[in-house]
Amino acid sequence: MVSSFCWSCLTRLRQTPRSVLPSPTALSRGPAFHTSTARYAMPMKKKASQEGPARYRQAKSAKMKKKRPTDRPRPPPVGERKALRKRIVLSNPNALEVDGMQELSAETMLDSRLRGTVLALPVPMLDQLRAVQAFKPKQGWSIFRRPGTVMRRETLEMGRLFDSISGEGKDQGSVVKKIVTGPRGSGKSVHLLQAMAMAFTKKWVVFTVPDAQELVTAHTSYAPLSDEVPDLYVQNESTAALLSRTITANKEVLTGLKISQQHPALKSVVKPNTTLHDLAQIGIQDPASSWAVFQALWTELTATAAAPGLEKNFIPRPPILVTVDGLAHWMKNSEYRTADFKPVHTHDLVFVRHFLSLLQPGQGKPTLPNGGALLYATSASNSPGIYSLDVALKQVEARHAGVDPSAPEFPQVEPYSKPDPRVLEALASSKPTATREGMLELQTLGGLTRSEARGFLEYFAQSGLLRETINDEWVGEKWTLAGGGVIGELEKLGRRLRVAA
């Protein structure tokens, strides 16, 4: 079919001037299937070609962009992290002040009517307790207005015991030896703190080992005791730290006592009128002589009479309290090594050997001739599993109960268990020959009674931490949830704020 638009019509159309039409060379040579308008595309830039030898000298490897230097913060100074981890806060200004709160004193530590109440620690005594590291970071001292401790049955019994040792009765100058055990959170470390507070109240001399693990982890220097005794090792820095804690906490007592014995090893540095405080300072200033100074200080505090020629300055010595926390770490091999790279047993460290020897009965006279107490506590949260120690503690309990070691019901080690004989021997305390020296016994701390738990939780309510109506039913519920009154679990329940909607 022929189109109606004929050829003659096409010839009549007006022709466009040649100057208006684009040049054929200006059009880009793109693909024919491209749909974009070629005339509006940006013209391609010509690559700058380098002629001559410069093009061959240019590096052809990939260029790496340099990273901008980042500002890294400086690491904390040496010891700052440890100090922050062990920081002790004893006061919370946001907590309410408990009205009518009594303080721990020589009278209140004996009052049975105060059983279940919380007594505040005297403010002047806080520095002494800090010096002996009696407070632990995780004990919740920072949630109350001032530090206080609950008077439980074991606390009142210990107060009467301390009073009888310092008194005028038949128990004057007696020696008490106990190993404190119990489940986690039962208050073993706080029990030692209460003992230290009572000892400071009675003007006793307090020696403490706040963490037994620090003596066996090979973090401090050590050396053979002497060429004659190469199998025993001395820790000068740890001994100097013990002397520092002792004179800081017992400054008032040690300043009033003077030397009354002869000390050939320290003859060149000790004068006749030297006080026991100045004697301990010698070991702190010169750690190389710290062990000899400690032996001299211990001899002075356990003396019952003066040496010939030194009777003028002799004053009767006060009782001594020794506390050790974490006893299980002393019942295994330490991290120290001998010259043959064999592990050093903990009992070969003279520091540890001295305090463990106090658990044995004295030869002819008490271990502490002037009276005192030995309280060694185990730890349930940081304690190695030692089978020999478990058997030894059972034997201590049976021996104190009157069970004969040859009886069939006396605890024995299991066959093929390979126990450590040195551990069993260290706690195998026989019946003492001295009349005033007690037998080693095992004291197991349990939970608080319901009445003691109520008094403890009422203290939380008075401090503003607990907003509950405290009655017998509610206390019985929390006592059960706390595993039968475990004081550590009661503290967790008491510090939770519950606000009614």
Gap between the Cα atoms of 441 and 180, Å rounded: 9
Q: How many angstroms separate the Cα of 104 from the Cα of each of 107, 111, 195, 433, 437?
A: 8, 10, 11, 35, 28
pLDDT band at 35 (very low <50, low <70, confident <90, very high): low
Instruction: Quote the mean pLDDT of the chain.
Output: 87
**Strand pairing report for 343-345 and 333-337:** antiparallel
Q: Is residue 377 within 8 Å of 442, Cβ to Cβ?
A: no
Q: Give the helix ranges, DSSP H, for 111-152.
A: 123-131
pLDDT at 501 over 50: no
- Contact residues for 286 (Cβ-Cβ < 8 A; gap 6+): none
Q: How confident is the model at residue 351 (pLDDT cuts 50, 70, 90)?
A: very high
Grouping H, G, I as helix, E, B as strand and the rest as coil, residue 11 is helix
Place of tokens 């309410």: 96
Residue 220 is encoded by which pair of tokens?
């401090």
What per-residue confidence (pLDDT) applies to 429?
82
Give per-residue pLDDT as tens, 362-407: 877 889 999 999 999 999 888 888 999 999 999 999 999 989 989 9
pLDDT at 16 over 90: no
Which is nearest to 217 in space by CA: 297, 107, 335?
A: 335
The reported pLDDT for the residue numbered 469 is: 85
Average pLDDT over residues 140-156: 93
The residue to which tokens 């034997």 are assigned: 395
> Can you tell me the mean pLDDT for 165-194?
92
Question: How far apart are the two ends of the chain, measured CA to CA in Å?
Answer: 94
Half-sphere exposure of 425 (CA within 13 A, CB side): 6
Residue 292: pLDDT over 60: yes
Q: Is the pLDDT of residue 122 over 90?
A: yes
Closest among 432, 426, 331 to 386, alpha carbons compared: 331
Over the stretch 249-268, which tens digit does the pLDDT of each residue have?
A: 999 999 999 999 988 888 87
Task: Reply yes or no on whether the pLDDT at 63 is more than 70.
Answer: no
Question: With pLDDT > 90 as the criterion, what percentage of the chain qualifies?
Answer: 62
Token pair of 180 as six digits: 């404190």
Q: With 90 as the cut, is the pLDDT of residue 57 above it?
A: no
Q: How confident is the model at residue 138 (pLDDT cuts 50, 70, 90)?
A: confident
Q: Does residue 161 surpass a pLDDT of 90?
A: yes
DSSP 366-389: -SSTT-EEEEEE--SSS----HHH
* Segment 455-492, tens digit of pLDDT: 999 999 999 888 888 899 999 999 999 999 999 999 98
What pLDDT digit, counting tens, does each position of 414-453 carry? 999 899 999 999 999 888 888 889 899 999 999 999 999 9
Q: What is the mean pLDDT of residues 277-305?
A: 94
306 residue type, one letter = A
pLDDT of residue 14: 60
Strand order through the sheet with 175-181: 205-209, 320-325, 372-377, 175-181, 441-444
> What is residue 499's predicted lDDT score, i.e. its pLDDT?
47
What would the mean pLDDT of 91-99 be, rounded to a whole number?
Answer: 90
Confidence class for position 30, pLDDT limits 50, 70, 90: low
